Amino acid sequence: MFLNAHTHHLSDQTDVLELYNQFPNELNNEAKLFSIGIHPAYIKTSSIKEEIEIINQTISNKNCLAIGEIGLDKLCETDFELQINVFKKQLEIAMQYQLPVIIHSVRAYQEILQIRKQMKLTIPFIFHGFNKNEQLLNQIIAQNCFASFGKNLLSNKNLQIIFANLSANQFFLENDASEISIEEIYTFAADLRKITIEELQLQQAENWKAVFGYEVQS
């Protein structure tokens, strides 16, 4: 099974299982498994209360495996203090329900890690679309968090070196909003790590069980 830890596309393939990204105001009932959250770029002051309520109502669904994608983005137009406020509100929900969090970060990794420390959070963070350096990745791992790799793995040489040397239990794979298939990402990732696709699939299944509490049926 090809496990996709973060995507904005629904696949109809029987050998693909994805964690579909849901927005509170655009719920798709066709998603088998999903995360839900308010993306920092789409925060609207007028609807925050309503969307937080939708998250609270939806999160009890057994198919909801995570909160996200949520986080901080210094390049979007949303006021940064407002982003922090909405981010913290959603982290409180994640902590209450003991769910992992899919993290969106644009030039805000240190702020997110600092908030994690300040709030004394123990729930896993999965920094999706990771495309940074080894030093930052080590900081993430040191806080018992994870990185998820997608399309950038196919073209970034430094990222490929970092990824090839990661422990098997420290990462996830995704295709996010790209048109690149999750199968292509798995094929490339397995080659980088010099293992078979089947071995990589088994490793990812273990990570899904450990972090999302979801056991993949063989």
Instruction: Report the CATH number at residue 63.
Output: 3.20.20.140
Q: What domain count does the chain have?
A: 1
Mean pLDDT value across residues 176-182: 97
Q: Can you say which residues are annotated as belonging to the binding site?
A: 69, 104, 128, 176
Residue 163 to residue 151: CA distance in whole angstroms = 13
Residue 82 to residue 79: CA distance in whole angstroms = 5
pLDDT band at 218 (very low <50, low <70, confident <90, very high): low
Cβ count near 103 (within 10 Å): 31
- What residues make up the domain containing 63? 2-212
Is 98 domain-assigned?
A: yes
For residue range 85-119, list pLDDT tens digits in order.
Answer: 999 999 999 999 999 999 999 999 999 999 999 99
User: pLDDT over 90 for what percent of the chain?
Assistant: 99
Is 217 domain-assigned?
A: no
Confidence at residue 195, expressed as pLDDT on a 0 to 100 scale: 98
For residue range 126-161, list pLDDT tens digits in order.
Answer: 999 999 999 999 999 999 999 999 999 999 999 999
- Helix 197-212, helix 182-193: angle, nearest 10: 110
The beta-strand segments (E) located in 116-195 are 125-127, 146-149, 171-173
pLDDT averaged over every residue in the chain: 97
Cβ count near 171 (within 10 Å): 25
Q: Is 133 left (phi over 0), alpha (psi -120 to 50) or beta?
A: beta
Cis peptide before 77 (omega within 30 of 0): no
48: its two tokens: 């925050």
Is 108 domain-assigned?
A: yes
Is 218 domain-assigned?
A: no
Burial class (CB in 10 A: 0-12, 13-18, 19+), 51: buried
Confidence at residue 83, expressed as pLDDT on a 0 to 100 scale: 98
Is 69 domain-assigned?
A: yes
Q: Can you say which residues are annotated as belonging to the binding site for a divalent metal cation?
A: 69, 104, 128, 176
For residue range 31-52, list pLDDT tens digits in order.
Answer: 999 999 999 999 999 999 999 9
pLDDT band at 217 (very low <50, low <70, confident <90, very high): confident
